[in-house]
Structure 1
Amino acid sequence: MSPTTDVRALALAAVSAAAFGLSGPFAKALLDAGWSPSAAVLARVGGAAAVLAPLVVRQWRRRRPSAANARIVLAYGLTAVAGTQFAYFSAVQTLSVGVALLLEYLAPVLLVGLAWARTRSAPPTGTLIGTVLSMVGLVLVLDLGGGVSVDPVGVAWGLAAAVCLSAYFVLSARVDDGLPAVVLAGGGLAVGTVTLAVLGVAGIVPLEASTGPVELLGASVSWLVPVVVLVGVSTVAAYLTGITATARLGSRVASFVGLTEVLFAVLAAWWLLGELPVPIQLLGGVGIVAGVALVHRDTDDRHDPASEPVPVTTA
């Protein structure tokens, strides 16, 4: 890989992280305007699925995935797409964007605990240190003894998003070369769209939307603005740039750069919504990001990056 290609790939990875990081603030603007979390997710994944559909169909015709990979796409759509985003959007109803995203990014720590329980073998020192850092960071982010009110229901939704994101990593580890990343992403978005639509029609989840104006940057704008950004920028562009960057960088570097999504989300929430965590929460955020970075590094060190699946950020 040439230095020029590496720099371009790093830039693409950063663009992807920034695009994903915008989803929380724009989604919260819709929620504050009367949208239900499920309706906001449906608008996002449904629009993105429609945009990516031609690419998915073309890839599918070139090489039809095996039955096993088709099941992975189905499970991915139910958990990584519908589950993660619904839980995350539900969390930002009562939590700040930064806190909700930091809770979601505890997923690698949950995977460490699962692997430890299954193998009964202690993880490497770096992973243990990363786990401790993340848990300490979580306590600081919640600021249980401080003046910031943290809704326990929002925390539960944030942790549910972490569980669903963990399921994504487990599913990704089973993907082989017969399942292109665009098929996994686009197919998963389609499955998530159908799932949410069925649940909404059945009355299991509320699909409440409003055509009234939303508040961004202290001004009233059309509801189409956040929807278009969520679909075009935070989903389609984010997935495609992330897939391209990961193919060039490998999973280790790309997943580390992907952690900057947390920082982009906090900055975007500050810029668009006027939200900024208190200093103790910012310190906790640094702890979580540092801990997750250590967990990712140790995980990638135990595998050949070239043999790993292309990771796709889900928030």
Structure 2
Amino acid sequence: MHTTDSSHGKGLGLSLAVGSALAFGGSGVAAKPLIEAGLAPLDVVWLRVAGAALVMLPLAVRHRDLPRRRPALLAGFGLLAVAGVQACYFAAISRIPVGVALLVEYLAPALVLGWVRFVQRRPVTRAAALGVVLAAGGLACVVEVWSGLRFDALGLVLALSAACCQVGYFVLADHGGGEGADPLGVIAYGLLVGAGLLTVVARPWEMDWSVLGGSARMNGAAVPAAVLLGWIVLVATVVAYVTGVVSVRRLSPQVAGVVACLEAVVATVLAWVLLGERLGASQVVGGVVVLAGAFIAQSSAPAKGSAEPLARGEGVVREPAV
């Protein structure tokens, strides 16, 4: 009975993780037309986070005792999972190719694996480690890292900082439910904190707000800018964060981290379909490899509910720990 419940929880967690990757992956397709219409990338990031914070505000009011009980968690989630990832990534792509920055950022699953193994001192199966390696290799093909590669020390540091912030997202999401901290409340306050921090950097009062009243071009077709912004806020942020955090609590951080690599595949496919950006053979092959890595990792790593017994050496692990 316990095995059935565990399998059901793992299956639901995997479905939520895939849904989160799909939602996050659609953000770039909607954001690019807005940027081409005249908004700065940081403007789009601020609109995304601030809009999502406004949507989640009722939940923040409902859990208004959270800042008193878990101030460090909320500050960390807002700083790392919301503002940090976004700001570091956009700063990185201003100095190094987008493909390189994306690949470095998605080294986060490997860093999560290192956190679990060496900081938490929990066993990690060899198959899970192989899944991370496959996913990283597949991402190298998806983003075509060899195209226009150039090394800029600060740019690489910024991209690695984005990866570290993403690790913080998975680790904080994993522990966010402790001591009665509702994950939805954590997300709501995290978005509020992130919006506040990004306001200082983005300076939205200098934004060209008239862009939002017009239309943007998506593969030659005119699309209302407000519709694109609505998609970014509601689907690519609110839905993406909610499903992502809940999935991490049902899976393990390392599994959810590898599945999150699907975001790059989703972004590439949507860019092909909606923006007319063609897929090369190497990108198709890379997408298949990423899928294979995600499947291997999720099918071999212990489910969330079994992590503690395994850490104590109880139960049976089918793959040797590394």
TM range (shorter): 0.7 to 0.9
Letter in 2 for 1:268: L
Larger mean CA deviation between 295-304 and 279-288 belongs to 295-304
User: Which of 23, 30, 34 is residue 26 of structure 1 equivalent to?
Assistant: 30
Deviation at 1:267, TM superposition (A): 2.0
- In the alignment, structure 1 segments of 5+ residues that lack a partner are 308-315
Letter of the 1:218 counterpart = G
Partner residue in 2 for 1:149: 148
1:26 Cα shift?
Answer: 1.3
Preserved contact between residue 109 and residue 295 of structure 1 (Cα < 8 Å): no
Take 1:235 and 1:208, find their aligned partners in 2: how far apart are those partners?
Answer: 21
Shift of 1:257: 6.2
The question of 1:251 aligning with 2:251 is answered yes
The corresponding residue for 2:186 is 184
Which amino acid is the alignment partner of residue 49 of structure 1? Answer: A
**Who is 1:270 aligned against?**
272
> CA contact under 8 A between 1:46 and 1:190: conserved in structure 2?
yes
SS of corresponding position for 1:163: helix
| Alignment deviations for residues 57-113 of structure 1 (CA, whole Å, 9 cap, x no partner) | 1133xxx237562211111101110111223445667756x8765553321102223
d(CA) in 1 for partners of 2:156 and 2:218? 25
CA apart distance, 1:117? 5.3
Q: 1:79 to 1:24 in 2, by over 3 A?
A: same
Secondary structure, in 3 states, of the residue corresponding to 1:304?
helix
Q: Is 1:49 the equivalent of 2:53?
A: yes
Structure 2 length as normaliser, TM-score? 0.72
Note if contact 2:142-2:268 (Cα within 8 Å) is conserved in structure 1.
no
Q: Deviations over 1:165-185 (max 9, x none)?
A: 011122234330411111111
Tell me, yes or no, if the aligned pair for 1:39 and 1:209 is still in contact at 8 Å.
Answer: no
Cα distance in 1 for partners of 2:55, 2:304 equals 37
CA displacement, residues 115-155 of structure 1 (integer Å, 9 cap, x when unaligned): 5555899853223323432443354446455xx33465676
Tell me the distance in 1 between the aligned counterparts of 2:16 and 2:87.
26
Q: CA deviation at 1:197?
A: 0.8
Instruction: Write out aligned runs for 1:212-291 (5 A).
Output: 212=211, 213-241=215-243, 250-251=250-251, 255=256, 260-291=262-293
Cα distance in 1 for partners of 2:135, 2:14 equals 25
Match of 1:39 among 15, 39, 43: 43
